[in-house]
Structure 1
Amino acid sequence: MRFRPGQKEVAEYKGGFLAVPAVPGAGKTTVLSWLAARLISEGLPRGGKVLVVTVMNAAVANFVRKIGDWLEERNLPRGVGFEVRTLHSLALQILRQRPDAALLRDDFSILDGGYRERLVEEIVLRWIDRNLERWQSVLKIDESHYSYQQALESWRRRTVELGQAMISHFKSEGLTPEQVDARVEGDGFLAWCAEYFRAYQQRLEQLGMLDFDDLLLRACALLEGDDELRSRLARGWPYIFEDEAQDSNPLQQRLLLALAAEHGNLVRVGDSNQAILGTFTNSDPRLFRDFAAREDVRALPMLQSNRSSRDIIDLANGLVRWCQDHPVPACRRALEPNYIEPVAPDDPHPNPVAPGYTLGIRAYKDLEEEVREVSKHAAGYVRRNPDKTVAILAPTNWLVGQFRDVLAELDAPFYEISTYPAQRRKTIDDLQAILSFLAQPGDNGLLTAALIRLVPDLADVPAITGYLEVVPVEQLLYGDISWPESLTEYDLWLDVRRGLEQLRSWLEAMHLPADMLVLEIAHDLGLQEQELAIAQKLAVDIKHRLHIFPNWRLPRVAEEVRLMTNSLLGAANVFFDRAGYKPQPGVINLVTAHRAKGLEWDTVYIVSVTSSEYPGMPGDKIRAEYGWLPEDLVNPVAAAQAELQGADKATAIRLAREELLCERLRLLYVAITRARVNLLLTWHRRTRFGRTKPALALRQLEKIMEAGKNAK
C-alpha cells in the first residue's frame, strides 16, 4: 500500500503510547486496519490479539471487514489475531471474567440506552407530579401568559433532560446517591437530581440490571483492584487501538489506560475538531488533547486528505485560523490548528477539482422561504446531475422534518438519515395503532386509525372514514350490514373490507400473550428484514416488561408501546448501522449536522446558519436556552453541576455557555468538511419569533469565499 505523509509514520508503529490527530478524510480507518494486520502478521505473543475499541456498531463491522481484507492480502485467515469491540461490550467482557469480584448477580441484565431513557423519564415525571409546586416555582412566567402552557410543557421535557444528563454525570464521576446527597445544600437543581438518582438506582437494583455507565464503572474498579486479571488481559491484548478518541469521557479513558498499563501499547486516533457530542454525552475533547501532550506520548498527526476540493479545504482551514483569534478568548481553542493538506498531485486518489468556484452563501427572508427555496434548488440539482451525491444538513431533527415535507410535495427523491426517520417510525406507529384498537375494540376512532395503517389511502377518503366513525364497531366487524353504494364505488373499497377482516382476525387472537400477539401481527403484515427485527425487538421488550409487571393487560401494554418509541427507534438505528450506509447518486439526503459526521457527499447544503443555531458570542440568543427561567438558572445542567462542585453558579453557566459556543464552531467545521466539491451555506432573516442574524462565523466564511473567488 502506498502511504501518504503522516500515514506512513503511523503504519510503522512498533509500540508505546501514540496519539494520532487525524483531519477529516485522512484515512484513519484504513491505516489502523493495515497496522493491525501488520502487527498480526509479524507475530503476537502466544494467544494475544490486537484489540480495536470504537463507539458505533457500524464502525465495528467496518474494522472487521478492513482488517480481514488486509490479512487476506498477507495470506492469513480473515478472523485471526484481532478483536473489535465497542467500549460497552468490552466492559461487559471484562466483568464476565470475575462476576464475583464485580459484585454482579448471576441473573443481571443490561439496561439498554432506550429503556434507560424511558426509566429516567418515568422517575422524573412521577417526581414532578409529587412536587408540582416546587417544580413550577422556578419559572418566571405568569399563568395568565398566552404561552404559559407551552412553557410548562417545554420545562417538563427539559427537566427530564436534566435528570438524564445529571445521572450520567454522577456516574461518570464515580459518585453514589449517598455521596451526592452529602453535597446538597438547599433546594436547587442538585437536590432535585439527587432524588432522581436515588430513585433510579433503587429501581435498577430491584430489576437486577446495570446500565452502560455501571458497566464502565465496575470494569474500571475491577481492573484497578485486581492485578492478576489486569495482567492476564494485558497478555491477551498486547496492542490496544482506540478510534474516535476525541469522544472519550473520563470513565472510558480510565478503562483503556488501566488495560494498557501493563504493556503501554496504546494507539488513540481522533480529531478534536470533530468533538461534537458534549451536548449529548459526557465526552470531553480536552482528554484527547491532554493525552497527546503528555511527555510519554508520541504524537503523529495525519493531515493530508483527498476528500474535498482545494476551495473547501481552504474554507475549513480559514475557519480554524479565524478561531485562533476569536473575539471570545475561551473560543480560541475550539478548533485546534491542525490544517488540512491536499494530497500530492500524483496520488492515486487525488482531491476532486471543481469547475470554477462552487462555494456560496445565500440569505432568505424567513425560515419558510429558506426551506422551500433550498428544497427547490436541491431538487433541480439532482435532476440535472443524477450521478452526484447530495445532502442537506440541518441543525435539528425538526428542521429535517420540514425539508422532508417540502421535498415530498415536490416529488423529489430523498432519503432521511435522522435520529428518528419517518420510514423507521412507520413499523412502530403501525403496531402501536393496531394494539391500541385491540386494547379498546369498541372505539370507532381507534378502529379507523388502525385501518388507515393497513390502507394508508383511506385517510384521503372522508366519506368512508366518516361512515366508520358512526356505525358501531361490532356491526362493522361482525354484522351483516348493507354498505352504501356510494362507498363501494371507491377503488380502495376491497382493501377496506380486507382490512376489517384482518382486524377481526387479530381480535380473535387476543387469547395470545401480548408479545406473541405482536409477532402474529408482524407476520400478517408481511414484515421483512429490518421491519421484522423492530417488531421482534418490541415483542422481546414487552415480554421483559410483563415479567416485571405481570398484572399489565393489553391497554397498559399499548400505552407502553407508545412510550417505548425512542427505545425501538434506537434499535432501528443499530440495524441501520449494521446495514451500513452509502449515499445513492441522484437522491437528496436529509440529515442533522451532528449525524452527518463520518459521511461525505459531492454537494452539501448547510442550512439555518444563524446566530441562534451556531452562536459565536456570549450575547447571542441560543435556541437551547429558555427565556422563562431566571438568568442564573437558564442552563439547569450547568447550575446543577456548579452546585455539585461547590462553584459559583454564574461562573459555571458562563463556562457552560462558552463550551457550547466552542462545540457549535466544531459542528460547523464538521458540516463544511462533509462536502467534496459544491457547498452552499444558507440562513434566514426572520422566524415567527422575530428577527435573526447570521452566525458570526458565517460572516468570516463570506470573507474567505470572496478572497477565493477573486483568486480564481
Structure 2
Amino acid sequence: MQFREDQKPIMEYRGGTMAVPAVPGAGKTFIVAHLAAKIIEEKIHKPGKVLIVTYMNSAVNNFKSRISSVLENKGITANGDYEVMTIHSLAMKILKERPDVVGINEEFQIIDDLKKIAFLNECIENWRRKNGERIFRLLLSDNGNKKYNEKGEYYWRDFFTIADNLISELKLNSISPELLLERLENVEGISIVKSISQIYDAYIKKLRIEGYIDYNDLLLLSYKALLLDDKLREKFKNKYSFIFEDECQDSNLVQSKILLLLSENNNNLVRVGDLNQSIMGTFTSSDPKFFANFCSQAERKHIMNMAGRSSNEIINLANYLVSYVRSEHPEEKCRGALEEQYIRVMSGMEEFKNPEPEDYGIYSYCFSSWDKVKETTLKAVKNFKIKNPDKTIGVLVPYNNQVTELAKELRRIGIECDELSTTSEKRIKITNTLGYMLRFLSEPDNIMRFKELINCLIDENLLGKEELIGRISNCEIEDLLENKIADLYENQFSEEKLVDRKLIELLEKYVDTIKDLLKHNEMSMERLILYIGNLLKLDVNDKAMVEAVASYIQYEQKYRTDLTLEEVSQRLLDVKNSVFKQIADVIYEIQGYEPTPERVTISTCHKSKGLEWDCVFLLSLTDYNFPSSLSGKFRSDHYYFKEEFKNPIALGKAEIQKMLGQSICNNPFIQARADVVNEKIRLLYVGITRAKEYLLLMSNYDEGKKDCPSKYFDVLKKFIENRKAIYKRM
C-alpha cells in the first residue's frame, strides 16, 4: 500500500499521544483503519487490544469492514485484537461491570427517546399546572403575553427544547438536582436555571422510580464508576493498549475525560478530526475546544492536508473562505471560526489525482426570490442529468422544509430523489397518514376530511387524480362508501378525460380500508392506531413508527383521559411537533447512505457532512441563513420573550458556568450569536467541500426584501468571477 506524503508520518506512529487534524476528503477513516491494522500486524498492542471509538453506528460498521479487509489481504485473522464501538457502547460495557458502585440496580435500562420525551413532557406539564404557567408568563414580553392564547402551545413546545438542553448541560457538568438547589439558595429574581430546577428534580426522580438512565447518565455514571472502582479502572486501562477516536471535533467534556482516563497506563491515544467541520455545538453538548486543546498538548501532531475529493478550483474557493474569515471577517469574534488549515491538491501520485472538469465548474447566481431559486435549480438539475447521466448530484439547503419542498418539485418533473433531513417525505408520510385517518374518524361525516385522507393515501401523481379528488367534495360519504367506486366514477365523470385505471383500484382499496376502520372506531386509541398499522402495507421502519405513536398515546392517556382523536391528529400533522420529530429521528436514522447517479440527493447542509457529490447546488445563501454580523435576527432568539430572556439556553448555560466558578462573558447573548455565526461559517465550508467537480452557489432576496444575499456569498461571488476571468485567458 502506497501512502501520500502527509499520511506517511501518521503511519510511522507506534505509541504516545498523537493529534491528526485532517481537511475534508483527506481520508480519515482510511488512515485510522490502516494504522490500526499495522499495529495489529506488528503485535505491538499485545497483551491489550486496539480500541476505535466513533459516534455513529454506520461508522462502526465502516471501520470494522475496512480493518478486516486490510488484515485479510495480509492473511491475518485478528477478531480478538481490536474493537470498534460508539462512545455510548463503550460506556455501557463499563457500567454493566459495576452498576452497584454508582448506586444503580444491575437491571438498569437505557431510556429510549420515546420514553424520555414522554417523561420530560410529563414533568413539564406537572410543573406547568402547579406554578410553572405563572413563572413562564413572567418571561414573556408584552407582545408574547398578548399572543399567548393563540401561540401558547407553540411557546411551550419551544420550552421543551430549552428544558432538555439545560438539563443535559447540568448533568454533563455533574450538577445534581440536590446540588443545584444548594447553588440556587441565594439566587434572587427570575433565573432560567431556577425556572427549570423543579422539572429537573422531577425528571431525575421519575427515571429512578422507573429504573431508567438516559444517555447523559450513561456517560457520567460510567466515568464515575471508573473513578470510584480501582479494579474496574485498571481492568479497562489494561484491556485497551491503543485508543483511536474519530470525529473528535464533535466530542464533549465527559467523552474526552473517559478516553483520557482509559489511556493513562500506556498513554497511547490518537484523536482524529477536523475543527473546520465542527457543526454540532449550538444544539448539542459537543465543543471543538476539547479537540483543539488536545492538538496543542499532544506529543505529536500531523496534519493531513492533502485531499483528492475536489477539483483544484473548488479547493481554491474553500481555502479562500478560510483566508477571508481569518483576516477580513467584519466581526473580530468570528475570525477564529476556521482554523488556518488549507487544503492541498494531490501531487506526484497518479492514483490520488484530483478531478479535472472540462471547464471552470463553479457558478454563482443571485435571484429576486426563493421561487426563482427553485425554478432555476429544477431546470439546472434536469439539464445536468441529461448531459452527465453518470454523475451524482447533491442539492443542499439550510432547512428541513426546503428539503421536502424541493423533493416534491423534483418528483413532479419525473426526477427520482432521496431526502436527507429530519422531516423528509419518508419520515412524515406515516405520521401524516395516521393523522388524517384519526382526523376523519373524529368526524366521519365530514366530506372534506374524507377528501384530505384520500389525497394523503394516494400519494402517486396518477392521471386524473387531481380532478377526482376535487370532485369528491361534491359527493355524499355514504355514496362513496356504499357504491363501487368504478360505477360511481362511470356515472358521475363519464364525460371527463381518461384516468389511470390504477387510480380507481387504489381508491377502491382505500375505501374498503376506511369502511373497515369505521367498524372498529370504538377501539381504544392506541389499539386503533395499531389496527391502522396492520391494515396498511408498511416497511419495518414505518411499523416501528406506528408502534411508537401508539405507545406514546397510551402513555399520554394515563394523564389525559380526555385526550381526543382530534387532538392526536393535530399533533401528528404538525411537522414541528418535537415529540414525533424526535421519535422519527431515531427510527429513520440514515445509515451508510451512498449517493448514486440515478437519484438526486436533497439534503440539509448538516446532513451532508461525510458525503460527496460530483455536482453540488448550495442554495439559500442569505444573510439570515448565513449571518456575518452579530446584530439582526437570529433563529436562536425567541421573539416572544422579554429582551433579557430572549435566548434562554445561552442565558441558562451562562448561569451554570457561573455556578461552576468559571469566567463568563459580559453578554452571553452576544457570545451565543458569535457561536452561531462561527458555526454557520463552518457549515458553509462543509457545503463547499462536498463538491467534487461542479459547484453552484445560489442566493436570493425574499419577497419583502427583509432578507438579502449573505456577505459570504458576495465575497465568494467576486472571487469566482475573478478566477473565471483568469481561467478564460489561460
How far apart in 1 are the matches of 2:646 and 2:562? Answer: 41
Give me the identity figure in percent. 31
- SS of 2:602's equivalent? strand
Matching of residue 155 in structure 1 with residue 131 in structure 2: no
Q: Which residue of 2 aligns with 1:342?
A: 345
How far apart in 1 are the matches of 2:176 and 2:416? Answer: 51
User: Is the CA contact 1:685–1:691 (under 8 Å) kept in the aligned structure 2?
Assistant: yes
Q: After alignment, is 539-548 or 75-84 more displaced? A: 539-548
How far apart in 2 are the matches of 1:658 and 1:123? Answer: 33
Alignment of 1:140-539 (within 5 A): 140-142=141-143, 152=152, 154-184=154-184, 185=187, 186-294=189-297, 296-325=298-327, 326-431=329-434, 433-434=436-437, 454-456=457-459, 461-462=468-469, 465-466=472-473, 470-471=477-478, 476=481, 486=491, 491=501, 492-505=503-516, 521-522=532-533, 524-527=535-538, 531-536=539-544, 538-539=546-547
Q: Structure 1 residues 371 and 232, CA, compared in 2 at 3 Å: closer, same or farther?
A: same
Q: After alignment, is 367-376 or 535-544 more displaced? A: 535-544
Q: Which residue of 1 aligns with 2:74?
A: 74
Out of 534, 559, 563, the position equivalent to 2:568 is: 559
Q: Structure 1 residues 46 and 354, CA, compared in 2 at 3 Å: closer, same or farther?
A: closer
How far apart are 1:328 and its partner, in Å? 2.2
- SS of 1:32's equivalent? helix
Q: After alignment, is 64-73 or 383-392 more displaced? A: 383-392
How far apart are 1:124 and its partner, in Å? 3.4
User: Is the CA contact 2:249–2:275 (under 8 Å) kept in the aligned structure 1?
Assistant: yes
Alignment of 1:648-659 (within 5 A): 651-659=667-675
User: Is the CA contact 1:392–1:606 (under 8 Å) kept in the aligned structure 2?
Assistant: yes
Q: Which residue of 1 aligns with 2:654?
A: 642
- For the aligned residues, what is the CA RMSD? 3.4
How far apart in 1 are the matches of 2:560 and 2:384? Answer: 53
Q: Which residue of 1 aligns with 2:607?
A: 595
User: Is the CA contact 1:632–1:649 (under 8 Å) kept in the aligned structure 2?
Assistant: no
Q: Structure 1 residues 81 and 497, CA, compared in 2 at 3 Å: closer, same or farther?
A: same
How far apart in 1 are the matches of 2:288 and 2:528? Answer: 47
How far apart in 1 are the matches of 2:644 and 2:305? Answer: 42
- SS of 2:722's equivalent? helix
How far apart are 1:681 and its partner, in Å? 1.3
How far apart in 2 are the matches of 1:533 and 1:627? Answer: 37
Aligned AA (1:532): V
Q: Structure 1 residues 536 and 440, CA, compared in 2 at 3 Å: closer, same or farther?
A: farther
How far apart in 2 are the matches of 1:251 and 1:345? Answer: 43
How far apart in 1 are the matches of 2:394 and 2:493? Answer: 44
Q: Which residue of 1 aligns with 2:685?
A: 669
Q: Structure 1 residues 704 and 119, CA, compared in 2 at 3 Å: closer, same or farther?
A: farther
How far apart in 2 are the matches of 1:693 and 1:536? Answer: 42
Q: Which residue of 2 aligns with 1:135?
A: 136
- SS of 2:88's equivalent? helix
Aligned AA (1:321): S
User: Is the CA contact 2:246–2:271 (under 8 Å) kept in the aligned structure 1?
Assistant: yes
- SS of 1:137's equivalent? helix
How far apart in 1 are the matches of 2:475 and 2:285? Answer: 51
- SS of 2:414's equivalent? coil
Out of 567, 585, 590, the position equivalent to 1:570 is: 585
How far apart are 1:700 and its partner, in Å? 2.5
Q: After alignment, is 54-63 or 539-548 more displaced? A: 539-548
Return the TM-score normalized by structure 2. 0.87
Aligned AA (1:139): L
User: Is the CA contact 2:24–2:307 (under 8 Å) kept in the aligned structure 1?
Assistant: yes
User: Is the CA contact 1:439–1:554 (under 8 Å) kept in the aligned structure 2?
Assistant: no
Q: Structure 1 residues 107 and 547, CA, compared in 2 at 3 Å: closer, same or farther?
A: farther
- Equivalent residue pairs, number: 700
Q: Structure 1 residues 232 and 704, CA, compared in 2 at 3 Å: closer, same or farther?
A: same
Spell out, residue by residue over 1:431-470, the C-alpha distance to the aligned partner (whole angstroms, 9 max, x if none).
4555666788787776665555554477753466437764
How far apart are 1:14 and its partner, in Å? 0.9
- SS of 2:473's equivalent? helix
User: Is the CA contact 2:617–2:695 (under 8 Å) kept in the aligned structure 1?
Assistant: yes
User: Is the CA contact 2:527–2:550 (under 8 Å) kept in the aligned structure 1?
Assistant: no
User: Is the CA contact 2:253–2:290 (under 8 Å) kept in the aligned structure 1?
Assistant: yes
How far apart are 1:510 and its partner, in Å? 8.5
How far apart are 1:405 and its partner, in Å? 3.5
User: Is the CA contact 1:518–1:535 (under 8 Å) kept in the aligned structure 2?
Assistant: no
How far apart in 2 are the matches of 1:167 and 1:603? Answer: 41
User: Is the CA contact 1:448–1:468 (under 8 Å) kept in the aligned structure 2?
Assistant: no
How far apart in 1 are the matches of 2:310 and 2:437? Answer: 48
How far apart in 2 are the matches of 1:550 and 1:658? Answer: 44
Q: After alignment, is 75-84 or 650-659 more displaced? A: 75-84
- SS of 1:277's equivalent? coil
Spell out, residue by residue over 1:96-154, the C-alpha distance to the aligned partner (whole angstroms, 9 max, x if none).
11122132224322123454345434543554455334323333343797x77776555
How far apart in 2 are the matches of 1:532 and 1:510? Answer: 25
Spell out, residue by residue over 1:578-625, the C-alpha distance to the aligned partner (whole angstroms, 9 max, x if none).
xx2111115331111111111111111111112211111222433433
Matching of residue 615 in structure 1 with residue 630 in structure 2: no
Q: Structure 1 residues 692 and 450, CA, compared in 2 at 3 Å: closer, same or farther?
A: closer
Out of 688, 691, 697, the position equivalent to 1:681 is: 697
User: Is the CA contact 2:616–2:691 (under 8 Å) kept in the aligned structure 1?
Assistant: yes
- SS of 2:102's equivalent? coil
Matching of residue 694 in structure 1 with residue 720 in structure 2: no
How far apart in 2 are the matches of 1:54 and 1:159? Answer: 31
How far apart are 1:331 and its partner, in Å? 1.5
Q: Structure 1 residues 582 and 210, CA, compared in 2 at 3 Å: closer, same or farther?
A: same
Q: Structure 1 residues 378 and 149, CA, compared in 2 at 3 Å: closer, same or farther?
A: farther
Spell out, residue by residue over 1:69-91, the C-alpha distance to the aligned partner (whole angstroms, 9 max, x if none).
11111112374422111111111
User: Is the CA contact 2:525–2:553 (under 8 Å) kept in the aligned structure 1?
Assistant: no
How far apart are 1:345 and its partner, in Å? 4.0
How far apart are 1:44 and its partner, in Å? 5.6
How far apart in 2 are the matches of 1:148 and 1:556? Answer: 23
Q: Structure 1 residues 154 and 415, CA, compared in 2 at 3 Å: closer, same or farther?
A: same
Aligned AA (1:340): I
Aligned AA (1:616): S
How far apart are 1:54 and its partner, in Å? 0.7
Spell out, residue by residue over 1:9-54, the C-alpha distance to the aligned partner (whole angstroms, 9 max, x if none).
2122211111100100001101111111122222266663211111
